[in-house]
Amino acid sequence: MVIYVVQRGDVLWRIADHYNIDIDSIIEANALPNPDVLLVGQSLIIPTDENIYNVRAGDSAWKIAQRHGISVQDLLWENEIMNPNNLYIGQLLTIPEKKKPEIEVNAFTYTLGDMAAPVIGEVGEMLTYLSPFAYLVKEDGSLVPIDDEAAIGEAIAHGIVPVMAIVNFTVNVAGRNAAKNVLNNPDIVNTLQENIINTMKDKGYQGLNIDFEYVLPEDREAYNRFLESTVNRLHDEGFFVSTSLAPKTSADQKGLLYEAHDYLEHGKLADYVVLMTYEWGWRGGQPRAISPINEIEKVLDYAVTVIPRDKILMGFQIYARDWELPFLPGKEAETISVEEAMNRAYAHNAQIQYDYMAQSPFFRYTDDEGNAHEVWFEDARSAQAKFDTAKEYGLKGISYWGLGYPFRQNWVLLEDNFDIKKL
C-alpha cells in the first residue's frame, strides 16, 4: 500500500491515473462516501501491485530497512540507489518482498447482544482474540453477567479465541472499593475464581482478561497475590490469563491508575498483557491526540525492560473525539467514530492537519450554531505509525479498543502489514 496525502487541487481520477489503478479500488480501501469530495490533508490508501514505501520526514535508509525487516543493502540494490544519504521526502521506494511478520490481535467489544455479530463478522478474519466487555466483579465475589452469547458464537465461527473480561469498576462503581474488599479476603477471592471458571466453562471462553483499575497503592501486593493464584487455578483448568495495564513509564510512577499495576509481576505471571496505550486525549481533558506515538514509545521503552516483548499487546484506540472550543473544565468531548469524524470534516470542508510528533491527524470546524470545534482522530498515517512501532519493538501484537467504531483504513493496512495468527 502507498499512503497519499491529498494536496490542494487534487481529484480522485488523477490520483488513480498517477498510480495506474482504478478509482473503485481507492474508494473501497478508504470507504469514501463521495469520490467527488476530497479534503486537503486527507490521507488515502492507494492499493498497488508492488510493495511501495513513501519516504517521510525523519526517514533514513537504515530506519526504512529496519522497519521492513530487510537489509539496507537489499533496499538500495532494489531501488538502484548508490548513496543512502540521497533520499528525499515523497520518494517512492520499492521494498523487496519479504514474509510479513506474524502477530496476535485482540479486540475488546462492548457491542453485545444481537448487534455483536455483524460488527465482529466484518473484521473477524483479522482477529486472534475477542474480549466482550465486561463482567463486573461485585464485592462479594459474584459477577454481573453480560449478553455475550452472540459475540462468542460469532467469534468461534471466525476462528477467534473468546476471552472473558472482568472489571472492578463502572462509571457509577468505584473500583478501589471493590478491589480492596475482594483482593484482601481469601474467601471472596476463592468465590470469585470459582465464578470465573464456571462462567468460562458455561459460555465457551478459553482465556481471561483481568482489568482492575483504580486499585489503591496499598493493595498492590494483594493484587499480585490474586493474579498469581488466579493464573495457577486457571492454568490447571486449561485456560490462559491476560491483564490490562495502565500506560506506565517507570516502576515508581505516581497516581491511582499506576501504582498498583506491577509491570514486573504481571510480566512474570500473565500469559500476555494489554498495555492501555491510549486516552492521553481523554474526554474530560484538553483536546490532544488520544494515543500519541511519542507517549506510546515512552511506555514501551519502560515496558520492554520488565515484560518479555512476546507477551506485550500494544493498545490501539480506533475512535475519535470532538471537543468544543474554548475548552472548559467539566465539559466532556464527544466520542465518535473515525467515519463520523470524516463526515464532519466533509460537511464543513475542513483542512486536515497532522501532528508529526504525536503521529495523529486533527482538524477544526465551526458548527451551524457558530461554536468552534477541534477533532482528533486516526487515519492511514497514524495507523501505519502504530504498526511500525509494533514491528520496531518486536511485540506480540496489538489490542483494539474497541469494535463498533468503523475505521476501514485500519483493517486494510493491518492485513497489508501482518499475518494474523489464528490459534
Please give the chain's pLDDT, 423 residues, in tens: 789 999 999 999 999 988 888 999 999 999 999 999 999 999 999 987 667 788 988 899 998 887 777 889 989 999 999 999 989 998 989 888 777 899 999 999 989 999 999 999 999 999 999 999 999 999 999 999 999 999 999 999 999 999 999 999 876 666 777 889 999 999 999 999 999 999 999 999 999 999 999 999 999 999 999 999 999 999 999 999 999 999 999 999 999 999 999 999 999 999 999 999 999 999 999 999 999 999 999 999 999 999 999 999 999 999 999 999 999 999 999 999 999 999 999 999 999 999 999 999 999 999 999 999 999 999 999 999 999 999 999 999 999 999 999 999 999 999 999 999 999
Domain ranges of the chain: 2-94, 102-324+375-420
**CA distance between the termini of the chain:** 27
Please report, for residues 42, 245, 321, the alpha-carbon distance to residue 171 in angstroms, rounded to integers and kept in the order given. 35, 18, 19
Please count the CA atoms within 13 angstroms of the CA of 112 that sit on its side-chain side: 12
Say how far apart CA 195 and CA 245 lie, in whole Å: 23
The CATH H-level (homologous superfamily) assignment of domain 102-324+375-420 is Glycosidases (3.20.20.80)
The yes or no reply on domain 2-94 and CATH 3.40.630.30 is: no
Question: What is the set of active-site residues?
Answer: 213
CB of 272 closer than 8 Å to CB of 396: yes
The pTM score is 0.88
Closest CA to 402 of 161, 154, 165, 137: 165
